[in-house]
């Protein structure tokens, strides 16, 4: 490559005594016909020179290295001078890769100077025509010396500007005019010579096309920008011609490949076509044969003595036309756009001896029906098999119609191979097919291991009768069945398990219900005996006390004693009232259904405390509440109140009067599944020997008991009614803790 131009620039820098660095690591010198050099001048100016013939790949290389140079100053912006005047041309592939005019690329430069000469002029003129907005802030400078001077010292007036001419003396002005005239006269011959060279190149481009040589550009040529533009046009023409040749080659290659693919696919389809068991043929709208397979050829040849050929008109073949009258009607229907399936029965001596299925459908090409395809199958054998199967199924269905037991046949490997409708209904499936394809028959057993156990038992004993097994329906429901089964074996040694299942869930349920009722009846009888005995005592004692106090009051004149008698009567009546309330709660709990409703624990606790605020010693006891409820909780509100009333009242009644800080703590934690209620006190406590009995009816741990004796019994029965549970811990003189777990009935 010619490096004279680079030497000229370096000589100018040396003459101007400017500091500069040629960035060797990023210069591009790997091409025979293209070089690029980066000069860093005075540590603040980047001068980029491109020489020779450029294309898209070289442009990408140039801009990649240009970005590397821009980053050398670690964010400090440089003045950028771009010199493309020594390029032969700027073809389209290179123009597509020009980025130094991109606004995003400007961030690297404080100023941008462009040498407006040669190809540089072509580039600027193209951008001024097509993308003028990208030239905003770009300074055009006529030559490198002016550009470097501009970058160092700032912009100077144009040598022939008005300001410059006005500054000249008359003598200096005359001298400038004579010099300019001499230059013009001396360049006339040169311009004529350059014009002839330009015309010769344009003629070559017209005649030789892609073989036209690029114009040689002399640094002193006045038409250098025009030469550069002509070279650009020549290179564009060559690139377009090259792309055209590549497109032609690709087209022919793809065409050959696609033709090969079509021929291969046609051969493959023909092989498939001829291998079909069906008789397949195609006709156009005039009933000319378009295609057919070997089965059609053999069928027509054997039955009508005709060798069909593509193009043959079926209507002109008398042997075919007379036999195909019905088929011709169907083809006409398909030509109207309708697809149909047909089944024809052929009889001999009044009996069906042949069954044929046909499918006739139109073929559309570009939304136009171009023909009709006919596909015919002789299904006589399969039809007869299906009919025999249907007949057998009707017989079996008739036999099984009134049988409620589930009848089945199964094998170890295939699973169920026969079941009746009762089997489907018993296990809650939708159809027999669903059970035939049910891969996990173990899931029909509540205990999946029972199937294997029964199978082994059958192989060992050959037959079992009325074995009770828990089965599982499709919806997960468990039922009890009695299974009777036997093992049979065919000629090939395959084992079959035949059996019947009888659903005895109703019988089992009735038995369990009867047992439960008996247990409940025994419990009720026991509780009734206890209740009658205790209730008569607990009702009679307060009444007797009231009666005696009334008799005493009749003969008493002392007001203080009368007031004391009345107070004792009030206590007896309150005790009787508490007993009646407990009986009412017990009765309601036993008879009324559970009603799920939102529970506000804070409200219930406060109501409970309010109910007992007038109890003796209430004010001496500290009440601590801790309720954590971030979710909605549902239960039976009336029963929850009964539980709280009894447990809280016990904590208050049986407080320890011998300690300084008697207290009752109520802690409630609620989550999505349950509520945990903990009611604790530091009261008198319960002896450990009585903890298992405190929930029995009318049980009192001591003669000093102040309650009715059925309060904790009611609590236990009420908690069981809402599916909850209760636990108690207690120590004498230390206190008692009741923990109640209640399920959230909303889930």
Q: What is the per-residue pLDDT for 533?
A: 42
CATH number of the domain residue 108 falls in? 3.30.750.24
Least confident of 309-313, 449-453, 555-559: 555-559
CATH number assigned to the domain comprising residue 545 = 1.10.287.130
**DSSP 8-state code for residue 619:** G
Please tell me the least confidently modeled range out of 125-129, 360-364, 580-584, 643-647.
580-584
Mean pLDDT of 617-633: 88
Same domain membership, residue 722 and residue 597: yes
Q: For the ranges 280-284, 326-330, 476-480, 739-743, which has the lowest average pLDDT?
A: 326-330
Residues 6 or more apart whose Cβ sits within 8 Å of residue 101:
127, 131, 134, 135, 138
Choice between 355 and 570, residue whose per-residue pLDDT is larger: 355
Kindly state whether residues 367 and 490 are assigned to the same domain.
Answer: no
What whole-number distance in Å separates Cα of residue 225 and Cα of residue 476? 91
What was the pLDDT predicted at 199?
52
> At 524, phi and psi to the nearest 5?
-65, -40
Tell me the average pLDDT across 72-95: 84
What pLDDT does residue 537 have? 44
Domain with residue 459: its CATH number is: 3.30.450.20
Whether residue 425 lies inside any domain: the answer is yes
> In this structure, what are the phi and psi dihedrals at residue 213, rounded to the nearest 5 degrees?
-85, 150
Structure tokens at 179: 């010099």
- Computed on alpha carbons and rounded to an integer, the radius of gyration of the chain in Å comes to 56
Average pLDDT over residues 572-588: 60
Q: What is the maximal distance between C-alpha atoms in the chain?
A: 163
φ, ψ at 606 (rounded to 5°): -65, -40
Of all residues in the chain, the percent with pLDDT exceeding 90 is 18
**Alpha-carbon torsion 412, 417, 422, 425, what sign?**
positive
CATH number of residue 716's parent domain = 3.30.565.10
pLDDT tens-digit series, residues 35-45: 999 999 999 99
Report the range of poorest mean pLDDT among 144-148, 412-416, 671-675, 734-738.
412-416
* Phi and psi at residue 76, to the nearest 5°: -75, 125
Over residues 694-746, the pLDDT tens digits come to 888 767 665 555 656 677 888 888 898 889 999 999 999 899 999 999 999 88
355: alpha, beta or left? (left if phi > 0; alpha if psi -120 to 50): beta
- 631 with 736, same domain: the answer is yes
The pLDDT confidence band at residue 245, using thresholds 50, 70 and 90, is confident
What does the pLDDT read at residue 633?
92
Residues 347 and 369 grouped into a single domain: yes
Q: What is the pLDDT of residue 328?
A: 83
Q: Classify each residue of 735-745 as buried b or exposed e, where b means 16 or more C-beta atoms within 10 Å of its C-beta.
A: bbbbebbbbbb
- Please name which of 665, 694, 663, 669 lies closest in space to residue 680, comparing C-alpha atoms: 665
Is the pLDDT reported for residue 664 higher than 90?
yes
Contact 682, 662 (CB under 8 A): yes
Does any domain span residue 731?
yes
User: Does one domain contain both 586 and 733?
Assistant: no
Mean pLDDT on 539-552: 60
Beta strands per DSSP E along 542-621: 597-598
Same structural domain for residues 558 and 607? Answer: no
Query: Which pLDDT score, from 0 to 100, does residue 304 have?
Result: 82
Residue 269 pLDDT > 70, yes or no? no
Q: Is residue 174 part of a domain?
A: no
Do 741 and 599 lie in one domain? The reply is yes
Residue 7's pLDDT is what?
92
Kindly state whether residues 580 and 604 are assigned to the same domain. Answer: no
Helices 637-653 and 559-591 cross at an angle (nearest 10°) of 140
Q: Domain end: 502, 519, 544, which one?
A: 502
What ranges in 24-118 are assigned the alpha helix state H?
Answer: 56-70, 92-95
Share of the chain above pLDDT 70, in %: 74
Compute the CA torsion angle 253, 255, 261, 267 (nearest 10 deg): -130
Residue 713: exposure state from Cβ atoms within 10 A (0-12, 13-18, ≥19): buried
Alpha carbons 374 and 334: distance in angstroms, whole number: 10
- Domain end, chosen from 383, 415, 441, is at 383
No. of helices (H) and no. of strands (E), the chain: 20, 23
Does residue 584 share a domain with residue 610? no
Position 225 in a domain: no
Residue at which a domain ends, from 486, 502, 518: 502
Instruction: Tell which residue, 105, 121, 111, 124, has the closest CA to residue 153.
Output: 111
Nearest to 680 by CA among 740, 608, 604: 740
Q: Do 76 and 91 fall within a single domain? A: yes
For residue 70, how many other CB atoms are within 10 A of its CB? 19
Of 169-178, 396-405, 674-683, which has the strongest mean pLDDT?
674-683
Q: What is the mean pLDDT of residues 14-43?
A: 92
Q: By CB neighbour count within 10 A (0-12 exposed, 13-18 middle, 19+ buried), where does 123 fall?
A: buried
- Greater confidence (701 vs 378) lies with 378
Show the tokens assigned to 181: 């005239």
Tokens of 323: 């036999």
Q: Which residue has the tokens 């046949």?
A: 409
Separation between Cα atoms, residue 531 and residue 484, nearest integer Å: 50
Q: Does the pLDDT at position 436 exceed 80?
A: yes
Q: Which pLDDT does position 437 carry in this prediction?
A: 85
Residue 200 lies in a domain: no
Report d(CA 409, CA 417) in Å as an integer: 6
Residue 398 maps to a domain: no
- In which element (H, E) is residue 412 found? none
Q: Which string of b and e fits 640-675 if b means at least 16 CB within 10 Å?
A: bbbbbbbbbbbbbbbbbeeeeebbbbbbbebeeebb
Q: Are 674 and 722 in contact (CB under 8 A)?
A: no
Residue 693 has pLDDT above 80, yes or no: yes
Give 307's contacts (C-beta < 8 A, 6+ positions apart).
297, 300, 301
Are 744 and 597 contained in the same domain?
yes
Contact in structure between 501 and 483 (CB atoms under 8 Å): yes
| 248 in any annotated domain | no
Supply the pLDDT for residue 207: 46
Residue 447 has pLDDT above 50, yes or no: yes
pLDDT at 550: 75
Kind and range of the H or E element at 410? Answer: strand 406-411
Q: Are residues 50 and 120 in the same domain?
A: yes
622-629 and 663-670 strand pairing: parallel
Identify the DSSP state of 132: G
Kindly tell me the burial class for residue 449, based on how many C-beta atoms sit within 10 Å of its own C-beta (0-12, 13-18, 19 or more). exposed
Distance CA 683, CA 148 (A): 104
Rounded mean pLDDT of the chain? Answer: 79
Per the DSSP assignment, residues forming a β-bridge with 500 are 407, 484
Q: Is 458 among the domain residues? A: yes
Higher pLDDT, 396 or 434: 434
Cα–Cα dist 504/404, whole Å: 11
Burial label, 306 (beta-carbon count in 10 A; 0-12, 13-18, 19+): middle
The H-or-E segment that residue 86 falls in is: strand 78-87
- Tokens linked to 735: 């206190």
CA–CA separation, 218 vs 225, rounded Å? 11
- The tally of domains found in the chain comes to 5
| Distances in whole angstroms, Cα of residue 292 to Cα of each of 169, 289, 372 | 105, 8, 12
pLDDT surpassing 50 at residue 574: yes
Task: Fill in the DSSP letter of residue 593.
Answer: P
Provide mean pLDDT across the span 171-180.
65
Instruction: Give bridge partners of residue 574 from the DSSP assignment.
Output: none
* pTM of the shown model: 0.33
Closest CA to 642 of 578, 690, 686, 696: 578
C-alpha to C-alpha distance for 12 and 723, rounded to whole angstroms: 104
Domain ranges, residue 534 = 504-591
Whether the Cβ atoms of residue 217 and residue 88 lie closer than 8 Å to each other: yes
């Amino acid at each position: 490559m010619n490096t004279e131009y680079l030497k000229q620039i370096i000589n100018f820098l040396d003459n101007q005594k400017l500091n500069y660095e040629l960035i060797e690591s990023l210069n591009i010198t790997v091409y025979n016909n293209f070089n690029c050099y980066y000069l860093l001048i005075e540590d603040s100016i980047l001068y980029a020179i491109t020489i020779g013939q450029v294309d898209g790949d070289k442009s990408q290389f140039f801009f990649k290295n240009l970005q590397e140079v821009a980053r050398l100053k670690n964010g400090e912006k440089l003045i950028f001078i771009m010199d493309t005047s020594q390029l032969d041309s700027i073809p389209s592939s290179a123009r597509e890769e020009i980025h130094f005019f991109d606004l995003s690329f400007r961030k690297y430069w404080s100023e941008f100077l462009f040498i407006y000469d040669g190809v540089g002029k072509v580039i600027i003129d193209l951008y001024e025509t097509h993308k003028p907005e990208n030239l905003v802030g770009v300074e055009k400078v006529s030559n490198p010396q002016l550009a470097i001077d501009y970058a160092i010292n700032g912009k100077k007036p144009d040598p022939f500007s008005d300001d410059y001419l006005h500054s000249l003396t008359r003598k200096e002005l005359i001298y400038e005019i004579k010099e300019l005239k001499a230059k013009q006269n001396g360049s006339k011959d040169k311009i004529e010579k350059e014009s002839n060279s330009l015309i010769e190149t344009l003629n070559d481009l017209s005649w030789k096309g892609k073989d036209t040589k690029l114009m040689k550009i002399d640094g002193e040529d006045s038409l250098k920008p025009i030469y550069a533009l002509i070279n650009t046009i020549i290179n564009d023409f060559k690139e377009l011609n090259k792309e055209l040749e590549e497109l032609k080659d690709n087209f022919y290659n793809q065409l050959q490949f696609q033709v090969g693919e079509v021929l291969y696919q046609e051969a493959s389809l023909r092989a498939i076509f001829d291998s079909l068991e069906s008789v397949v043929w195609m006709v156009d709208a005039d009933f000319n044969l378009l295609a057919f397979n070997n089965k059609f050829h053999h069928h027509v040849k054997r039955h009508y003595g005709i060798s069909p050929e593509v193009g043959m008109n079926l209507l002109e073949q008398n042997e075919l036309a007379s036999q195909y009258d019905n088929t011709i009607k169907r083809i006409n229907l398909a030509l109207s756009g309708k697809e149909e399936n047909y089944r024809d029965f052929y009889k001999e001596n009044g009996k069906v001896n042949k069954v044929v299925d046909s499918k006739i459908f139109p073929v559309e090409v570009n939304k136009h029906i171009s023909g009709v395809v006919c596909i015919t199958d002789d299904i006589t054998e399969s039809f007869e098999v299906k009919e025999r199967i249907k007949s057998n199924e009707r017989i079996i269905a008739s036999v099984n119609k009134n049988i409620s037991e589930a009848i089945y046949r199964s094998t170890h490997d295939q699973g169920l191979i026969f079941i009746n409708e009762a089997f489907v209904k018993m296990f809650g499936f939708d159809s027999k097919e669903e059970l035939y394809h049910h891969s996990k028959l173990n899931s029909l057993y509540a205990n999946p291991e029972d199937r294997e156990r029964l199978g082994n038992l059958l192989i060992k004993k050959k037959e079992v009768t009325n074995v009770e097994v828990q089965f599982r329906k499709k919806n997960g429901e468990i039922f009890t069945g009695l299974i009777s089964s036997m093992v049979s074996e065919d000629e090939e040694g395959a084992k079959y398990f035949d059996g019947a299942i009888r659903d005895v869930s109703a019988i089992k349920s009735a038995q369990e219900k009867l047992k439960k009722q008996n247990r409940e009846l025994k419990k009720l009888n026991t509780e009734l005996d206890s209740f009658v005995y205790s209730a008569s005592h607990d009702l009679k004692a307060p009444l007797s006390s009231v009666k005696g106090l009334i008799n005493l009051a009749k003969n008493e004149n002392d007001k203080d004693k009368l007031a004391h008698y009345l107070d004792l009567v009030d206590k007896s009546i309150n005790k009787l009232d508490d007993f009646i309330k407990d009986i009412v709660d017990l009765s309601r709990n036993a008879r009324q259904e559970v009603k799920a409703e939102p529970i506000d624990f804070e409200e219930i606790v406060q109501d409970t405390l309010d109910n007992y605020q007038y109890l003796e010693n209430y004010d001496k006891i500290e009440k601590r509440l801790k309720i954590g409820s971030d979710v909605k909780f549902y239960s039976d509100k009336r029963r929850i109140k009964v539980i709280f009333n009894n447990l809280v009242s016990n904590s208050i009644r049986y407080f320890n009067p011998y300690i300084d800080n008697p207290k009752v703590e109520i802690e409630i934690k609620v989550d999505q599944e349950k509520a945990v209620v903990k009611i604790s006190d530091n009261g008198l406590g319960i002896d450990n020997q009585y903890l298992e009995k405190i929930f029995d009816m009318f049980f009192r741990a001591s003669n000093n008991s102040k309650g009715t004796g059925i309060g904790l019994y009611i609590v236990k029965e009420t908690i069981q009614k809402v599916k909850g549970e209760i636990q108690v811990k207690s120590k004498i003189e230390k206190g008692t803790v009741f923990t109640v777990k209640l399920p959230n009935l909303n889930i």
